[in-house]
Amino acid sequence: MPKIKTGGDTWSAQVGEESGDPQLQTIVFFCATNGQRPYRVVEVPRTRIGGPDALEALSAGDLQALFDESISMNFLRT
């Protein structure tokens, strides 16, 4: 599972369950250093990340960019 450090915490990323749209892949970030933080989710085109191997192959910068696009559980971006 790829990991990044951001905002003073370490987050691990993994491919989520099936999205409602077959063209999208769900990526979920879990905080490894603070269990009180909600998980974060982002959906990306499957052409960008098709599965776990593609997620593992991302650079730290690309992983950070995905994290920056993510939203907290139960929070809608407006």
| pLDDT tier at 53, thresholds 50, 70, 90 | very high
Question: What is the pLDDT, as a whole number, of residue 78?
Answer: 45
Q: What DSSP line would sit under 3-68, residue for residue? A: EEEETTEEEEEEE-S--SSTTEEEEEEEESS-TTSPPEEEEEETTT--SHHHHHT--HHHHHHHHH
pTM, full prediction = 0.86
Question: What is the pLDDT, as a whole number, of residue 74?
Answer: 62
| pLDDT tier at 15, thresholds 50, 70, 90 | very high
Q: What's the mean pLDDT in 35-59?
A: 91
Is the confidence at residue 70, as pLDDT, over 50? yes
